[in-house]
Structure 1
Amino acid sequence: MATETLEFTIYPDGRVVETVKGVRGKQCTELTAEIEGKLGNMTHRQETDEHYQTVENQSAQQQWESWGET
């Protein structure tokens, strides 16, 4: 299973860029909702390919990855 990572980049002008890795589907939005609310107005959201993967795809991906393990 992939490692779930939240990365925050804070710029001198106050902008905060949040990057989420290893979280598939709508779980990403649910995971970050509380902190986004505390950070203030969100001006832009860009979903990654992982955002569009479904739970079924995630299960298939986990199976595929486990087949490669010895």
Structure 2
Amino acid sequence: MPAPRITAAAARQALEGAIAAGLTPTAAVWLADGSYRLEFSSQELKPGQDVAANDAGKPKKWGEKS
């Protein structure tokens, strides 16, 4: 089976997703097998950081009321 094609839409969605999470990609690498890797500055990433913590659309925790 041939590798999936890398499309402009897939590249845009990957970059827009990282930016929406508050990250700034420093490099993007797309491989021939259709996979990709986004790289970020080490100062920007903090161990245990939940980039979705400020997402208003996230689901409620179990038992949490409105």
User: TM-score, normalising length from structure 2?
Assistant: 0.31
Higher Cα Rg, which structure: 2
User: TM-score, normalising length from structure 1?
Assistant: 0.30
User: Which has the larger share of helix?
Assistant: 1
